[in-house]
Structure 1
Amino acid sequence: MPVRLKPTLAVALIATLALAGCTAADTTETATDSAVVESDTTTTTTDFAASNGDCEAMAATFRDVESANPDSPDPELTATCDGDVLSVTSNAIPDYLYIATTPEELQASTVALKLAVSPTVADVPGEVPALGTIGIAVNGVPIYGPTENTGGDVLSLRGALSECGSHSSPVEFHLHLFGWDDDVDCLYSAEEVESGDSILVGWSADGYPIMSGYVCADEECTEMVQLESSWQLTDDSLFASDTWSAHTYVEGSGDLDQCNGRVDADGQYRYYTTTTFPYFMGCYYGEVSDDAIAGGGGAGPGGRP
């Protein structure tokens, strides 16, 4: 069953937290220069304990995965608590029907993350790496950033992604964006995404939750809206070769902050998926430990690899 948050009208927060820039020096801001975005269409954690120190509740958000692809390895996923760390391991095989969009076969790999149960806000939010894992979905599929090997935006490669926002690479199967469509088997069905609830998509490497950005516009949920990124395409000539340089964070131009998240009315910081760059996260709002992602991937405040 999907883990969902009951929609409620947001109450404006007086936030003292702040964000730093995560791109080149000419667009970077210090942690005290950019205020955290506060929610005006939000959710509450009435029935979901997120990033509050409850490791068992956090572990329970991961699915009991079952095979959906009889000609491929069965999906494997475990989430175990060790003090203030949640260790998540998977083989990257999806629990939904695989749709081939690349020449690579669906193959098992080793995905291992150690997530902070009580994440710490970074003094200077870190850049997400150009390649590799930046988080993990609730079905154990690794979440990647917006770029491909070329440095270009993943959407610059026509047909590279399935309707689910995923594809196989020579390394492993992974998500680049949160997608759904009618009559297509994805992480969540269109019916679930459009049901009136905000749905937990996965967890960032810093321990903060990643939610579907398709949310209720008001307490009664008379309509649903897609939250908008505050990253703007300012040089489309670079879209297919250097998507980070092609985009600029413009504070207040969308619904979310530079990391593609916000503080909701319950005081909880959450990332939200968007249909435009950066799709999942624009930077790490929280601290990412050196061993958060097996084999690396958690970039710090320095330059993007």
Structure 2
Amino acid sequence: MILHKTELFSVTAKAAALIALLLALYPNFAFAHGEEDHCMAVKASVADAGFSDVAKVTCEDGKAIITSDTYPAHTLMTGIVGTNEQVPVPAKDYAAPILLEPALGTTPQTRDAALGVAVNGVPIYDYTGGGEMTLDDLKHHQAQHDTLQTKQLDVCGGHAGWGDDYHYHVKPNCMIEQMKNAGDAAIIGWAFDGFPIYGDNNPDGTPIAIGELDVCNGKTDDTFIYRYHTSTQAPYIIQCLMGEVGDMDDLPRVSPLKAAGGWFSWGGKSAGVPPRGGVENLTFTQDGNGRRSMDYIYQGEAYYMRYTPTRTPDCYAFETRTITDGGSVETGEYCR
């Protein structure tokens, strides 16, 4: 179900009313518990889910930093039809900052990159793939840029983007299946403004009524003051930040791979455009030697993107045959 434009204007009005109410209740933007408690909550969310081996949490300078390589141990890319011909490559030492004393702001903030991070260390974006949304865009469904409806996502709710990194755009269902503490009460991620992200239901298991979530897909919370949720209808997951984060440009962004010894993104080209009609039978495989291969069919022709780690740390030997490159075989070494 998609909200109509008039309904979304109503949701935006509710968001403004919510902010006004919370400002009245918390005039100094005071957080419901202290910085140390919040640090412990972030650490516990990762540990209880069973991801401490891949997502490390440290707390310093008012932030919990979740460090990972953004590369999850579940199915990747398989099932995508509207491929952008990008392939996921580990992004070593990706550092996601979570504010330890979150404060609600007065205006929702948007970004054309991650808005938060899942407890397995994978970045979480909004549901769109068409660049940063304006405040007006938040008021109605961006159907033409909906990565789920345009079949740009794999069976786990993610894909690789312009940074050659894997990230989620909707509910990370495969990650949730792996969580040792999976359930309505489990935190599945954190927004960069410091507020937690939960699944489709309230933490106590009760359902969330249609229209109950605000424009950022969140609502008030007794412990954290505010929280975000996933949902079965657009926007599916957090689509803007309701809390203060300072300068949005300071938030992390994974850069594209660069040619070995050079300063240009690999191939020297921008991301490809999903081919008309999409591709068929896209699968992503990897072996014990680190060789990864994304294979797919387009109009009866076989295409692929393959890479293997080289002896140089964080560098990979690529061989590709893509629709974007007209079917020619390209090779090269590219690095983080």
TM-score by length of 2: 0.54
1:203-222, aligned counterparts within 5 Å? 203-215=190-202
Q: 2:230 aligns with which of 254, 273, 276?
A: 273
Partner of 1:293: 251
Trace 1:1-305 onto structure 2 (pairs within 5 A): 33-35=16-18, 52-53=34-35, 54=37, 55-63=39-47, 65=51, 76-100=54-78, 101=80, 102=83, 103-110=85-92, 111-122=94-105, 124-129=106-111, 131-149=112-130, 152-158=145-151, 160-171=152-163, 172-180=165-173, 186-189=174-177, 195=183, 197-215=184-202, 225=207, 227=208, 254-266=211-223, 268-290=225-247, 293-295=251-253
SS at match of 2:176: coil
* Alpha-carbon distance in structure 1 between the residues aligned to 2:226 and 2:196: 8
Structure 1 position 148, deviation (Å) = 0.8
AA aligned to 2:40 is: E
Once the two structures are TM-superposed, the CA of residue 118 in structure 1 deviates from its matched residue by 1.3
Whether the 8 Å CA contact 1:198–1:213 is kept in 2: the answer is no
Distance 2:113 2:171 in 1: 16
Against the structure 1 CA distance between its residues 282 and 37, is the aligned structure 2 distance closer, same or farther, given a 3 Å change threshold?
farther
Contact 1:200 1:210 in 2 (8 A): yes
Alpha-carbon offset, residue 215 of structure 1? 4.2
Shift of 1:198: 2.9
Cα distance change on mapping 1:138 and 1:65 into 2, 3 Å: same
For 2:197 and 2:219, the matched residues in 1 are separated by: 11
> Structure 2 CA distance, aligned partners of 1:152 and 1:105?
20
| 1:209 CA drift (Å) | 0.2
Post-superposition Cα deviations, 1:24-56, rounded to whole Å, max 9, x if no partner, equal 99997698x513599xxxxxxxxxx99642213
3-state SS of 2:65 partner: strand
Q: CA deviation at 1:58?
A: 1.7
Contiguous gaps of at least 5 residues in structure 2: 1-7, 22-30, 132-143, 255-336
CA contact under 8 A between 2:231 and 2:237: conserved in structure 1? yes
Shift of 1:192: 7.5
Larger radius of gyration: 2
In structure 2, C-alpha distance between the alignment counterparts of 1:191 and 1:209, rounded to whole Å: 16
1:213–1:272 CA contact under 8 A, matched in 2: yes
DSSP 3-state at the match of 2:148:
helix
For residue 273 of structure 1, report the CA deviation from its aligned partner: 0.8
- Counterpart secondary structure, 1:161: coil
After superposition, the C-alpha distances for 1:247-288 in whole angstroms (9 at most, x for unaligned) are: xxxxxx612122211113446311111122222224311101
Contact 1:112 1:293 in 2 (8 A): no
Say whether the 8 Å CA contact 1:79–1:88 is kept in structure 2.
yes
Q: Relative contact order (alpha carbons < 8 A, sep ≥ 6): 1 or 2 greater?
A: 1
Which residue of structure 1 aligns with residue 304 of structure 2? none
CA distance in 2, matches of 1:207, 1:191: 21
Structure holding more helix per residue: 2
Counting aligned pairs with the same residue, the percent is 28
Aligned length: 215
* Backbone CA RMSD of aligned residues: 3.7
Consecutive unaligned residues of structure 1, counting only runs of 5 or more, are 1-23, 39-48, 67-74, 181-185, 229-252, 297-305
Specify whether residues 61 and 50 from structure 1 end up closer, same or farther in structure 2 by C-alpha distance, changes over 3 A only.
farther
Give me the whole-angstrom Cα distance separating, in 2, the residues matched to 1:208 and 1:147. 21
